[in-house]
Amino acid sequence: NAGVMQNPRHLVRRRGQEARLRCSPMKGHSHVYWYRQLPEEGLKFMVYLQKENIIDESGMPKERFSAEFPKEGPSILRIQQVVRGDSAAYFCASSPPLAGGTTETQYFGPGTRLLVL
């Protein structure tokens, strides 16, 4: 069973360009989470999605950032008009369908390291 896949692993963009980060959850997982790790900091929650639904986007910046998890295909984190402050590692995690309403373990991907020049 392959783990959580993220691509690209490294992404370089110039200011003003768009960045698209992809996440394929583990097989059988229907929940996806995105986290951002700024240099020398811990991970900060951004958004939680289920198939075709955004469940919690309380950590998403109000502008330029969006996320989706379509019925088919990977989850996409999209950053429009990138700025240097967007440079960070973006991690995706997935978890299986919930059992009994309890929190399930989240499995993390290797991350996408975004560098904005």
Partner 1 sequence: AQSVTQLGSHVSVSEGALVLLRCNYSSSVPPYLFWYVQYPNQGLQLLLKYTTGATLVKGINGFEAEFKKSETSFHLTKPSAHMSDAAEYFCAVSGRSSASKIIFGSGTRLSIRP
Kindly list the residues in this chain that would bind partner 1 in the complex (CB under 8 A): 4, 31, 33, 35, 41-45, 48, 55-56, 58-59, 91, 93, 95, 98, 101-111, 113
Residue 91 CA to residue 112 CA, distance in Å, equals: 7
CB of 110 to partner 1, least distance (A): 4
- Give the DSSP per-residue string, 67-79: EE--SSS-EEEEE
Return the number of the residue (11 or 109) whose C-beta is nearest partner 1: 109
CA neighbours closer than 13 Å in the CB half-sphere of residue 50? 6
CB of 32 to partner 1, least distance (A): 10
Structure tokens at 70: 């379509």
Return the number of the residue (18 or 56) whose C-beta is nearest partner 1: 56
Q: How far is CA 16 from CA 13, 20, 60, 65, in A?
A: 8, 13, 19, 13
Return the number of the residue (45 or 74) whose C-beta is nearest partner 1: 45
CB of 9 to partner 1, least distance (A): 9
Classify 18 as helix, strand or coil.
coil
CB of 73 to partner 1, least distance (A): 21
Return the number of the residue (5 or 76) whose C-beta is nearest partner 1: 5
